[in-house]
Amino acid sequence: MVGCSCPVCSSSDPRDRRSRASLLIRHAGKNILVDSSTDLRSQMLREMVPQIDAVLFTHAHADHVNGIDDLRGFYFLHRQVIPCYACPATMERLLSGFGYAFHQEKGATHPPLLEARVTGGPFDLFGLQVLPVPLEHGVDGSCGYRIGSFAYLTDCSAIPPASLALLQGVATVVVDGLRWSPHPFHFNIEGAIAALRELGVRRMILTHLTHEVRHADERRLPDGVEFAYDGMNFELER
């Protein structure tokens, strides 16, 4: 955290040096980004990502969308409009705040760089079946995504019963686990584990961690639960 010299912020463990939560899915030669975090530019440079083919947005909070302007660089390199998927409320806020990227403004010499696609149910993306999963988070909520046996559920404080039904059978879940202590709009670590226990998830990866959490404290977690870290890679079951 800016200005902080706590044991985590001053840690020599590179896994304690965290940028904002985001995810890149590589499938069939395509790169699918989940959220354009404030740190998008540095994340893309670090991972040497050559192209983004689609973006899934979970919600419109600043730490998850304010890197959207850097998506324009991929358009200028490849001249391919990037489709962006979001629920109606999130898309409305994206269009309000970043309309210049979605619409050709008067006097602009280039066409729209991003394409707005509002989700209303399952959809196909490069041969993957993507299932939006509504979650509780603050006033507006957020949207997780299930793809096969994998689910990404960042920024949530509860999973509604109808969404739990959508998650039956998942094997690997990346889920919000902000910190050890409670928070009104995010799962804490204990809450995330409890919420997913009934699903029988084989692998649970806690993300969106704050500087209350040292990566070395992973030893305190039960079997099958681990902390995410920047640059983490894993393969999904088919």
Q: What is the 3-state secondary structure (H, E, C) of 30-56?
A: EEEEECCCCCHHHHHHHHCCCCCCEEE
Output the pLDDT for position 91.
98
- pLDDT of residue 109 exceeding 90, the answer is no
Express each pLDDT in 146-182 by its tens digit. 999 999 999 999 999 999 999 999 999 999 999 999 9
Whether 90 and 170 map to the same domain: the answer is no
From residue 35, give the alpha-carbon distance in Å to each of 61, 78, 112, 124, 171. Answer: 10, 20, 19, 18, 22
Residue 1 domain-assigned (yes or no): no
Whether 111 and 91 map to the same domain: the answer is yes
- pLDDT of residue 1 exceeding 70, the answer is yes
pLDDT level of residue 238 (50, 70, 90 thresholds): low
pLDDT level of residue 9 (50, 70, 90 thresholds): very high
Residue 159 domain-assigned (yes or no): yes
pLDDT level of residue 112 (50, 70, 90 thresholds): confident
Residue 95 domain-assigned (yes or no): yes
- pLDDT of residue 45 exceeding 80, the answer is yes
Q: The domain containing residue 91 runs over which residues?
A: 18-120
Number of domains in the chain: 2
The DSSP-derived string for 123-143 is EEETTEEEEEEEEB-TTT-EE
From residue 118, give the alpha-carbon distance in Å to each of 3, 24, 149, 159. Answer: 39, 20, 23, 21
Average pLDDT of 59-84?
95
Residue 165 domain-assigned (yes or no): yes
Q: Is 3 left (phi over 0), alpha (psi -120 to 50) or beta?
A: left
Whether 83 and 147 map to the same domain: the answer is no
Q: Give the Cα separation of 154 and 219 in Å (integer).
A: 22
Output the pLDDT for position 148.
96
Whether 48 and 116 map to the same domain: the answer is yes
* Six-digit token string for 71: 């998506």
Q: Give the Cα separation of 217 and 214 in Å (integer).
A: 5
Output the pLDDT for position 70.
95
Express each pLDDT in 169-221 by its tens digit. 999 999 999 999 999 999 999 999 999 988 999 999 999 999 999 999 999 99
Residue 177, domain CATH: 3.60.15.10
Residue 3 domain-assigned (yes or no): no
**Residue 173 C-alpha from the chain's centroid:** 12
The amino acid present at 197, given as its one-letter code, is R
Contact 72, 102 (CB under 8 A): no
Residue 237 domain-assigned (yes or no): no
Whether 116 and 128 map to the same domain: the answer is no
Average pLDDT of 3-19?
95
Mean pLDDT estimate for the chain: 95
Whether 82 and 128 map to the same domain: the answer is no
Residue 234 domain-assigned (yes or no): no
Whether 182 and 222 map to the same domain: the answer is yes
Whether 77 and 136 map to the same domain: the answer is no
Dihedral sign (CA 85, 86, 87, 88): negative
